Structure 1
Amino acid sequence: MHLHGTAKINEHGRLEIGGCDTKDLAEQFGTPLYVVDEALVRQRAREYVEAFQASGFRFQVAYASKAFSTVAMCAIAEQEGLSLDVVSDGELYTALQAGFPAERIHFHGNNKTPFEIEMALDAGIGCFVADNFSELQLLNAIAASKGRKANILLRITPGVEAHTHDYISTGQQDSKFGFDLAGGAAFEAVRQALGLEHLVLLGVHSHIGSQIFEVEGFRMAAAKVAEFAVDVKAKLGQTFRVINLGGGFGIRYTSEDSPLPVRDYIGAITDAIRTNFTDAGYPLPEIWVEPGRSIVGDAGTTLYTVGTSKDIPGVRKYVAVDGGMTDNPRPALYESKYEAVLANRAAEPAVETVSVAGKCCESGDMLIWDLELPKAETGDLLAVFCTGAYNYAMASNYNRIRRPAVVLVKDGQADVAVKRESLEDISRNDVLPERLRKVEVQP
């Protein structure tokens, strides 16, 4: 069993997180329940900031809010000195509701709508990460209509393929994101951007994928970006002030995963930027990165109540819980793997192998295929680890199942960060057209 952050087995043999007994949390807040270890979130954020401070570079560490976006999380990011990247009007609204400084917000996305661009410009955000030629024209036109100038980075695809799942690999040439470096689109994007009066080009952005466990991909991306920067300076006279190498830093979900310490990732990035740019006689740029999963992923644990079971002799035993793909779609999407324990009996030895099934009406609603547990009984509490990233963020109401609450735990105190949805919430936005209303049939 690998425990993260403040998690431990307490004197009652139960799992405890942030000084809170998970059995007490389940009784107070219900299940399924997302539990976030606030101290671990803050520790991970500080690891990035301290690694950059040691490098001597000017920097911004922008929390990728797509991993887990709530008002409380935005407040924590602001308190820890992070910037923030958003990819929708909803994420931007959440950040602004939290009082996050707009000048430290970066807006991503391959299809920003006019409404989103106007909202971001009106808020005074710090930077747009422009993804395609259509956006350059649209952003310039909207900025012009408001008499403003928009800071931008150009997202480029450097042709570096990270060793990750196809659906979360984004730096290769064939990607929906960004301007292709090898095919010349990136250079043309710089040329066009420099000709648009209401855009201010700060530099370039690249992102090579997610859940990355080595540094070579980042080194290669830094080298390609530096080569491109030198070429642009020589041919167009433009010097990049900012180089953003994105995120994708991996975390440990299971024993199969071997992430590096944060300082190793940042050390490799800063060393590669320093070497490549200095060797080319190019001014050292400010470095931005965008960790998301690696800040919140292992700080999250989901608590479920065990319900029914089904034993197929010689095949497998299914144990069902009161959640599933509605609160964690990642196993269905990416075949993601997790570790888990019976939180109320965490000190007991495992005696059987089970497969954990969700309650959705889908055969593919499986959370964990083979898990060693004590003999699970109805009413037991199952804790699935490392669910802080892309679980709440991707949760749905499939089967009209209510989304769980989120609680922050720290120093023995538990605070609700997101309320559990009610049955009334499920149909709150439904409208029954007048023509469908029941009418009495005249005799």
Structure 2
Amino acid sequence: MSLKNDFKTFINNLEPTNISDMETTVGEIAKKLNNYYYDLTGDTSSHIYIVGSVGRTTAIKGVSDLDILFDLPNSKYKQYDDYEGNGQSALLQEVKNVLKGRYPNTDMSGDGQVVVIKFSNYTVELVPGFKQSDDRFKYPDTNDGGKWKFTDPLPEIDESKTTADDTDGNFRYIANMLRSWKNKQGFKFGGLLIDTLTYNFLNNNVEYRNVGFDSYLDMTKELFKYLKDLNKDQSYWYALGSNQQVYNCDNGKFITKAKNAYKKIENLTEESSNINKELRKLFGSKFPKKATTEARASYSYNFSKSYSDTEQFIEDMFQVDIRYSLNIDCKVTQDGFTPKFLSYILRNNMYLQPKKSLEFFITDIDNQIKGKYDIYWKVKNEGQVAKNRNCIRGQIKKYNTVKLHESTDFKGEHYVECYIVQNGICIAMDRLDVPISNYKYIMG
């Protein structure tokens, strides 16, 4: 299969499968709110807007958040603007209680700026707002005693759809690829920022606006080159269509990740024997796995023994929609030596030696994660010795602990990944590669 077809298959694999179900849910919510606030019976479409990545048609398979906005009567604004106390909070509670009549057994809350409805495989975030004469929406913010804010999603939706049409779908495809990259690498990268930077990339590199899949490798290189050269300290960019300020994510971590991505693929060509393997490392298992003769080659030249491929992938076990940050590190100890952190070792280009004790642990987890969640860990050994000993590992296991103990025992490579899973969705993850010494020792 050519790389052109691999990219086409990759894009097809990212197509979301739950949009129809989401649209049905939106209709039910609209019907309930239209009946209560406008005395409209059975109306499933008036006054309601699908916004966010689903509204901009840039969501991918596994999308777990559905953002919608409902336009309330202006009389409700006056009522809660004159409210004694936090009128914004009271408004959210009213809308939540109305929807409780439709979903009495569903986990629901009203706080901050949204009413949150948690279904089994996605979460609805409903913003009750008031449409203005300029098509912006005024909406409640319950923080700091309550206030009103403005949002302008409609021109963002229009510009996304127009740009997708004008670029033969490339705007949508590239935004999809960046979401898949974000989920595979495990870092926070907001959807509106992704779409805005995709829009900017195509406007700054017009030669890629209407390319076909046969040019996608070159386009991907230029995309990561564009992202890596952005200013990590920039506070915000202006959103496509609306020119609203869309803020930097996680101190510009996406720029550091883009630098790493570009370094891995800048010298690859379609003829490179490892091209699919490297692209799968970037984008995940939705990118096709190229058939190889690795087993025969290993036997002929390395006389390797057979081994069991026990590796598991998080995207095959759960929906993956990385929305929060997670950071892990490792304390490296050995009798008679001062303990060191793996982050320090990596920063100083040092190497691990054998017979080390490794304590992996979560250093930081996003405080915006609310409610219960599970913690999974994965330990993966790579290299010929791991295959010879039939010990590549790679299983994903639920430990529900913030620490994981391992050791460096034999020759090869390894990495560790940690995942936060909530309601069947992987919402945060981090990965730590262990440096390889001249002796190439790894965990057993």
The interval holding the TM-score normalised by the smaller chain is under 0.3
Higher RCO by CA contacts (8 Å cutoff, separation 6 or greater): 1
TM-score, normalization by structure 2:
0.22
TM-score, normalization by structure 1:
0.22
